[in-house]
Amino acid sequence: MRFFFSRKHLLLSAMIFIATALQAQTSRPVVSEINAAPLSSNKIEIRWKLPPQQSTDEGQIRAIHIYRDIRPISSISSKKSIAVLPSYASSYTDTPGDFREYFYAVVTELTSDGSAGASNGGLYFDEEIDTPPQETRGKIYNVILPGVNATVRGARISGKTESIEELNEKQYLLQTKEAEEKVYGENRLREQPLPYMDILGDMNTLHERKISVEAEEKAKLLLKGKKTESKKILSEYVFPEDLIEGTDDDEIALFEILKDSFIKKDYVEAEKSLDKFLPKVKNQEVKNRTIFYLGECAYFNGNMPNAINHFILLQDTYPSLCRRWIKSSLDLYVIVGN
C-alpha cells in the first residue's frame, strides 16, 4: 500500500513537530530567547526569558548561572560561572574589560529535593565584586541549546571611537576648557579657580594658598630665566566614574575623598587621604583611579619624580591619558632641574 503526502501535509507535520518540541522545552527548567548586546562603551547586557517557575521532575529553580567564553558555548562541564543570580533574574550586565567578542550561556540551578527555590534573599556571586563560591547547594541543569539559552552570535563592547580611553580623553578636554558645575550626589559644587601662586610676591589675605610651597617655588623658577622654555601646568583630571557617587564601598569612599579635598584643590590633604585609602581598596578599577589621583597630587605638590612613577604604573591602563601627564611631569622636572 502506498501513501502519498502533499506539501501541505508535510508542512502541517513539521509545524506539529516544532510545537511539540517547544512545549516539551517549556516544561524543562531552561531559559529561552537569550540575547547579548553592547549596553555602553564598557558593558554588555545579557537578557533571557525565564521558564515557568513550576516544580518539575528535576526540581525547582533556585538560581541562575551565567557563563562567558570567547567561543560559542556548547558545554559548561569544565567552566566556572561568572555570576550566580537569584531565580527571578532575567538580565545581567557584564563588564568584560577588553574588546574581544564574547559568547554567553545561561543555565539554571535546581534544588535537589524539589523544594521551593531561594527566590528572595541570600547571597549571590558576581565575578566583578565577589570571590568564587566554594560550593553549590543545588544541581546545575547542564543543558545547552544554541540560540535558546546560549548565544550563537558574539557580542563585544563598543569600538575604539567609544572606548573608555576615548571617553576619558573627551572628559579631559571638557574639563580643561570649561569650569562647569560638577555633581556629587545631592551636593552641587562649582569648579574653583586655579590655585593661586604668589609668583610675583604680592600675596595678600584675599587669596588662600591651595598649593604647596615647594610647587610654588618651582613655578617661580620656571619664570626666572626660563620663559622661553616654560610649560603649561595641566588642570586636574577627574574620571567620569567619580563625578557621581558609586554603588560599592570603594567607589563611595573614593568619591568622599575627592569631594572633601581633591576637588577643592587641597592636594596635600588629598594625597594623605588617598595614601591611607589605597591599601584597603579591593575593586581593581577604583585602585587604578586612586593611583592616578595620587600621581596628580604629587604633580600639583611639585614632586615630579613621584608623579611620574604613579603614571608609569598605569600607562597600559590609560595610555593616552598617562602619556600626557608623564610628558608634562618630565617637562617640568627637566626645566626646574636645569
pLDDT at site 55: 52
- Report how far Cα 97 is from the mean position of its chain's Cα atoms: 7
Residue 223 has pLDDT above 60, yes or no: no
- Could you tell me which residues come within 8 angstroms of residue 155 by beta carbon, excluding any fewer than 6 positions away? 36, 37, 38, 44, 101, 102, 103, 104
pLDDT at site 91: 92
- Could you tell me which residues come within 8 angstroms of residue 288 by beta carbon, excluding any fewer than 6 positions away? 314, 317, 318
Q: In the block, which residue shows the cell 501513501?
A: 3
Distance separating alpha carbons of residues 105 and 143, to the nearest angstrom: 10
Element (H, E) at 68: strand 61-69
- Could you tell me which residues come within 8 angstroms of residue 264 by beta carbon, excluding any fewer than 6 positions away? 192, 210
Distance separating alpha carbons of residues 294 and 297, to the nearest angstrom: 5
Cell numbers placing 41: 562603551
β-strand 181-184 against 139-140: which pairing, if any? unpaired
Distance separating alpha carbons of residues 132 and 120, to the nearest angstrom: 20
More confident residue, 241 or 126: 241
The angle at the Cα of 211, spanning 206 to 214, to the nearest 5 degrees, equals 125
> Which of the four pLDDT bands, split at 50, 70 and 90, describes residue 39?
confident
- Which residues on neighbouring strands pair with residue 126, listed in sequence order? 83
Classify residue 74 by its DSSP letter: S
- Report how far Cα 230 is from the mean position of its chain's Cα atoms: 38
What length is written for the chain?
A: 338
pLDDT at site 87: 86
Q: In the block, which residue shows the cell 567578542?
A: 101
Distance separating alpha carbons of residues 131 and 123, to the nearest angstrom: 12
Residue type present at position 135? E
Helices (H), the chain: 7-26, 164-177, 213-223, 249-257, 267-277, 284-300, 304-313, 319-337
- The values of phi and psi at residue 54, to 5°, are -100, 160
Q: In the block, which residue shows the cell 587621604?
A: 273
pLDDT digits (tens, 9 = 90+) for 155-189: 988 654 444 455 556 555 665 555 444 444 444 44
Cell numbers placing 332: 617640568
Residue 198 has pLDDT above 70, yes or no: no
CB atoms within 10 A of CB 42: 20
In contact, 86 and 63? CB cutoff 8 Å:
yes
pLDDT at site 196: 44
pLDDT at site 85: 92
Element (H, E) at 255: helix 249-257
Residue 144 has pLDDT above 60, yes or no: yes
Cell numbers placing 126: 558576581
Q: What is the mean pLDDT of residues 202-223?
A: 55
- The values of phi and psi at residue 307, to 5°, are -60, -45
Residue 225 has pLDDT above 60, yes or no: no
Residue 265 C-beta-side C-alpha neighbours within 13 Å: 17
> Which of the four pLDDT bands, split at 50, 70 and 90, describes residue 110?
confident
Classify residue 181 by its DSSP letter: E
Q: What is the mean pLDDT of residues 130-147?
A: 72
In angstroms, the Cα distances linking 293 to 84, 164, 250, 268, 310 are 34, 17, 14, 12, 9
pTM: 0.40
In angstroms, the Cα distances linking 182 to 157, 208, 210, 321 are 27, 22, 19, 21
pLDDT at site 205: 43
Q: What is the mean pLDDT of residues 196-223?
A: 53
3-state SS assignment for residue 67: strand
> Which of the four pLDDT bands, split at 50, 70 and 90, describes residue 296?
very high
Report the range of poorest mean pLDDT among 37-51, 56-70, 95-109, 148-162. 148-162
In contact, 297 and 270? CB cutoff 8 Å:
yes
Range of 120-129, 194-203, 312-321 with top mean pLDDT: 312-321
